[in-house]
Amino acid sequence: MLFHTLTVLAILFAKFGFFAAFLSVRNQQKNNTLSIESVEIYTDGACSGNPGPGGWGAVLRWRGKEKEIAGGDKSTTNNRMELTAVIRALESLNRDVPVEVWSDSTYVIKGITEWIHGWKKRGWKRKGGEVLNVELWKQLDELSHRYQIKWHWVKGHAGHPLNERADRLAVEQTELMRQG
């Protein structure tokens, strides 16, 4: 896909000059996705009690194929499960492709796109003390440098089909952790 995009840009540049090639790139950026070749990941976490038994789920989609992954923990927090869902989904990738992550967790989205820079500058500390779940944030930080990732927040429980599937996976795992 990248080769195709570069070829199209080269043809536009040769035929119509820099401005046409620039507009083509801008139009691709305005489309809220990286490319047709990007892996789409929808994640969610759940917890019964906080702390308590919890679960995480992720739906990965690439080239028309879908894969569901899920897991849980007998004693955890909702935020840990939200982070774990994204981490496990990224760890499951076996190709170097652009990635788009959708999460209904502002903790995850703001954490990885905004807050993490200050935490790292302050030695993984926040204004109120230690960064919670620091080991998970460090894992996510490392994984986020392996891929070109576009982060999206999606409103939870608002009917988005893939977010709802990730939620169901997380809730199922929470129930399994509670029972067993």
As annotated, the active-site residues are 44-45, 82, 104, 157, 167
3-state SS assignment for residue 93: coil
Q: How many other CB atoms are found less than 10 A from the CB of residue 18?
A: 9
Phi, then psi, of 49 in degrees rounded to 5: 90, 160
| Start-end of H helices in 17-105 | 18-30, 78-91
The one-character DSSP state at 132 is T
Report the alpha-carbon distance of residue 139 to residue 173 in Å, rounded.
22
Nearest to 95 by CA among 43, 29, 37, 166: 37
